[in-house]
Structure formats: C-alpha cells, structure tokens
C-alpha cells in the first residue's frame, strides 16, 4: 500500500487556489495537478450543532423578483434524435485517458458499467405488463424511476439528457456565456423552472459569482471565464494501482473568478447552479446539433449542442444514493486532478467552499464517496467493479456513491464534498473488498477498519469538491 507521503506527493499541484471559508489554502504547480492538501479535514475539531441547516429557508422573494426568474423558463427540451461520436482531430487520441469529450455513457458493455435495473418480470411467470406502474408514480420516494431534473427529457437508450441552453454575457464586454441551469436554493423557483431544489445552496456564497437577470431571463455575469481549449490528458499509474495517476491535465480551465454557482443580485439573491458550457463564441462556432462536437470550444460532457433551438445534450453518469442507482451530471471540480478524471471544468472559485462539515449548520455540501482501489479485474464484466483505478484502467466511470438526493433525503447539494477511500490490505487479502452502494455501509466499514482514507490516512474530506447535479433516480 502506498504511504500517505507518496500519495500526497503524487497529487501535488501548481498555482495557489482560492482561500476557503475555513482559511485553508490549496496550492498547485504549473503542471496542473493540485495537491489534495491534507486528507485530514475530518480531524479538525468541530463542535456538534443542534440541527442541520437543511430545513433553513430563505425569506420568500417578492412577486416582482419571481416574475424576473420566470423569464428564464423554457419549453421542456426534446432529445436529439441522432447523435454522432466526435470525430474532430481534438477528439481523436491514442488512449481513452487522453480522449477529449465525455467518455463512455452510462449504458456500458457489462454489469460493472451499466446500473440500469432489470425489469420486474425477470424470473416471474407473468409478463411485465402485469406489474402495472411503479409505486414511484404515486409517491416519488417509493421504488421506481423518478426524474429529478425536469427541464428536458432523458434518453435512456443513449444515457443522455437534453436540456435548455442559455445565452448570457459577461458584464462590460460583448463576450457570450453559454450556460445551463440545474439547481437553485429557492424552492418556488425550482418548481417553476423544473430545477433541483437544494437548501444547501443558500451557503455557497463564498464560492459563487454574482450576476443580474436581463429582460429575457438570461444572466449577465459580473465575472468568471473558462478556457475550453486545453487538451485533457491523464497518464495512469501502474496496472492494478492506476490511481493516483502519474500526471493529469483538465480539458477546461476557469479563471480565478469562475464557479458554476451564481447569486442573482437584482432578483432576490436567488442562487443558481449555472455551469458554463461554452465561452466567447458565436452560435455558428458551436452548432453541433447531432454531435461531432469540437471540444476546444465546448464543455467535455456535452454530447450535442444546438444554439439555434437553444438545447444542449449532456452525458449522464452512473452512481448510487443509499443503495439506489442514479444518473447525474459532472460539470465542474475545485482542483485540476478531479476535473481531468471527471472530464469536466476546473473551477478555482469552488475552492472557497466550506468542506468537511457535511450536514452541520451553514454547510453548503453533501458527501460523495469515491473508492480509489475498488474491484477492477474483468473491467465492465465485473459486477462489483468500482473506483478510480478501475476508471483509469478501462475508461468507464467509477460508480461513485452519493449522499442524500431529493426523494431520499433533505440534504441534497450539487456541491459534493469528495471523500476518497481505500480498502485496507487486510480487507483485500481476506476477499472482503466489493462494491459499496450507500453512505452508512461505507461508514460502517470505516468503523470496522476495512476502509481508510487513501494511503492509510484517516477517513474524511479529501479537500476538494465536484459539481454534480442529480438527474434521475433509476429505481
């Protein structure tokens, strides 16, 4: 097992990131891999608080402010009928770890890369039509599929969602910002626009930009740009220990003022999750309605983009929340290493998020649990496949475990506090290592000594966050 020192050295990075609300600094070098800093945020003493912040609600916004937000309402986007794989020179590479674009979708070639549930009729003596609608159609907290982000339609065959594309601008310039909306901290606005509601977004202000809504409901952002030209590239570690990689470079890099979160100054201070998907390009330069996207101009998770009909199709990613398979988006990360692995945008301002406090008062985050050395032999044919080494070995996603999402819990946030974990040598040698699917299962294994932080470190926050809006619960 790698020592903590070796693990930390492998993640060292370049320029200084934003200072977090806890006063912690993250540093990086010009080679574009950030340190995870200390992996021991969880060891910081935090006094217990009487109750979590998830029930905290903002004062209702005025009818005038609500009217401004309603200008952002768009028709439900329809799936793209034909999607072609990217074929531009930037999309072609010798290995999947240096490929540009979203990577494989959630409908993988085997059970380790495809979490879509089997029909209830398997093993029964009656056809599926006998079973009727799933219980979730009566109560979304019950078993059955539930779409949570309702601005567009999920294409279950391709593992994508098509949602509205917004055309905003950067204040004081003629530079265009193309973005999406996925979440908000205002429940009424969320219901009207079909977005995810997250009370925790109340507390992302230290890591949020500011902006104003214009007369069409588009955002004029005060600051924040993204360069989509860099070439994403990862050199994995040795076979069987591919994580941490030898080097990693993200495919999109934000400036010091970029974060997907934005507080709307002229409309009640409502906070949106508004990830950027293209910057300072006109419609003709990003018109890829059927795919074959130029990833030097567009976010790597975009599968197709149509600036004429104002829609964008985005790749979905497999994961679990409290044992249930889910699909989510991965749009931004607070360190370059995570952005490179996630095929998303490095967003430096996200480094100011308060991490390590989970559901305590004023915490903006929910936890995401990421295995570093889960089962990987057999690639997608292995139904227990999981983890970052598996991801870097076969190119498919790591089957991460999310904390609470809507319909399961009240503490959902698209800002996920990454908690990397490793199976101990003793657990592996006794064949105890497997695929884990829910938060308290992992925490129990930590308590039992089967799981630690990477390299034997104490388990806890790994010091970075990922912007992953939830899209659909699969059962």
pLDDT digits (tens, 9 = 90+) for 81-104: 777 754 333 344 458 899 999 999
Q: Is residue 125 part of a domain?
A: no
For residue 1, what pLDDT is reported? Answer: 41
Say whether pLDDT at 23 is over 80.
no
Q: What is the pLDDT of residues 213-238, one digit of tens each?
A: 999 999 999 999 999 999 999 999 99
For residue 57, what pLDDT is reported? Answer: 57
Say whether pLDDT at 194 is over 80.
yes
Say whether pLDDT at 28 is over 90.
no
Q: What mean pLDDT value characterizes the chain?
A: 88
Closest CA to 416 of 197, 123, 200, 124: 200
Q: Is residue 93 part of a domain?
A: yes
Question: pLDDT band at 17, cuts 50/70/90?
Answer: very low
**Cα separations in angstroms, 1 against 6, 7, 394, 426, 434:** 10, 10, 22, 11, 18
CB atoms within 10 A of CB 280: 18
Say whether pLDDT at 13 is over 50.
no
For residue 95, what pLDDT is reported? Answer: 84
Looking at 10-19, 229-238, 287-296, which range is the least confident one?
A: 10-19
- Where b means 16+ CB within 10 Å and e means fewer, 372-404 reads bbbbbeebbebebbbbbbbbbbbbbbbbbbbbb
For residue 80, what pLDDT is reported? Answer: 76
**pTM of the full structure:** 0.88
Cα(403)–Cα(324) distance, integer angstroms: 11
Cα(62)–Cα(241) distance, integer angstroms: 55
For residue 210, what pLDDT is reported? Answer: 98
Looking at 84-88, 190-194, 267-271, 386-390, which range is the least confident one?
A: 84-88
Cα(36)–Cα(179) distance, integer angstroms: 28
Q: Is residue 126 part of a domain?
A: no
For residue 85, what pLDDT is reported? Answer: 58
Region 20-33: mean pLDDT is: 34
Q: Is residue 142 part of a domain?
A: yes
Say whether pLDDT at 179 is over 70.
yes
Task: Assign 14 to helix, strand or coil.
Answer: strand
Region 175-197: mean pLDDT is: 98
Q: Is residue 128 part of a domain?
A: no
Question: In the block, which residue shows the tokens 């299962």?
Answer: 441
Q: The domain containing residue 351 runs over which residues? A: 4-114+135-470
> Both tokens of residue 245?
């990689």
Question: pLDDT band at 54, cuts 50/70/90?
Answer: very low
What residues are paired with 272 via a beta bridge? 184, 262
Q: Is residue 122 part of a domain?
A: no
Q: Is residue 263 part of a domain?
A: yes
Cβ within 8 Å of residue 52, ≥6 positions away: 359, 360, 361, 363, 411
More confident residue, 194 or 54: 194
For residue 6, what pLDDT is reported? Answer: 37
Residue 472 near residue 327 (C-beta atoms within 8 A): yes
Number of independent structural domains in the chain: 1
Q: Is residue 124 part of a domain?
A: no
Say whether pLDDT at 36 is over 90.
no
């Amino acid at each position: 097992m790698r020592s903590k020192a070796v693990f930390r050295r492998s993640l060292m990075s370049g320029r200084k990131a934003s200072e977090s609300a806890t006063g912690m600094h993250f540093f990086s070098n010009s080679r574009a891999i950030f340190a995870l800093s200390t992996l021991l945020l969880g060891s910081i003493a935090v006094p217990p608080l009487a109750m979590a912040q998830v029930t905290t609600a903002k004062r209702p916004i005025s009818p005038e402010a609500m009217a401004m937000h309603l200008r952002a309402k768009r028709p439900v986007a329809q799936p793209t009928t034909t999607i072609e794989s990217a074929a531009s020179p930037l999309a072609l590479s010798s290995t999947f770890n240096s490929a540009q674009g979203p990577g494989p979708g959630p409908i993988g070639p085997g059970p380790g890369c495809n979490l879509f549930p089997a029909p209830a009729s398997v093993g029964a003596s009656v056809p599926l039509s006998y079973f009727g609608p799933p219980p979730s159609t009566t109560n979304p907290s019950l078993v059955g599929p539930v779409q949570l982000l309702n601005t567009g339609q999920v294409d279950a065959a391709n593992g994508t969602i098509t949602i509205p594309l917004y055309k905003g601008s950067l204040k004081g310039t003629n530079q265009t910002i193309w973005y999406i909306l996925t979440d908000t901290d205002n429940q009424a606005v969320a219901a009207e626009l079909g977005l995810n509601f997250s009370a925790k977004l109340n507390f992302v202000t230290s890591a949020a930009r500011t902006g104003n809504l214009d007369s069409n409901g588009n955002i004029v952002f005060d600051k924040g740009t993204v360069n989509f030209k860099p070439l994403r590239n990862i050199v994995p570690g040795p076979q069987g220990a591919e994580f941490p990689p030898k080097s990693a470079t993200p495919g999109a890099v934000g400036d010091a003022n970029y974060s997907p979160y934005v507080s709307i100054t002229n409309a009640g201070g409502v906070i949106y999750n508004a990830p950027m998907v293209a910057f300072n390009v006109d419609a003709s330069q990003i018109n890829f309605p059927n795919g074959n996207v130029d990833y030097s101009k567009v976010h790597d998770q975009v599968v197709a983009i149509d600036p004429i009909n104002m829609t964008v199709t985005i790749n979905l990613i497999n994961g679990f929340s409290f044992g249930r398979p889910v699909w989510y988006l991965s749009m931004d990360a607070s360190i370059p290493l995570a952005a490179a692995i996630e095929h998303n945008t490095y967003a430096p301002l996200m480094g100011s998020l308060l991490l390590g406090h989970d559901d305590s008062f004023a915490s903006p985050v929910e936890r995401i649990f990421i295995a570093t050395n889960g089962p990987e032999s057999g690639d997608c044919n292995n139904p227990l496949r999981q983890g970052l080494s598996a991801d870097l070995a076969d190119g498919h996603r790591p089957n991460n475990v999310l904390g609470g999402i809507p319909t399961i819990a009240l503490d959902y946030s698209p800002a996920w506090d990454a908690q990397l974990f490793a199976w101990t040598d003793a657990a592996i040698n006794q064949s105890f290592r497997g695929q884990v699917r829910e938060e308290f299962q992992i925490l129990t294994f930590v308590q039992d000594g089967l799981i630690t932080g990477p390299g034997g470190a104490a388990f806890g926050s790994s010091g970075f966050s990922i912007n992953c809006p939830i899209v659909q619960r699969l059962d």
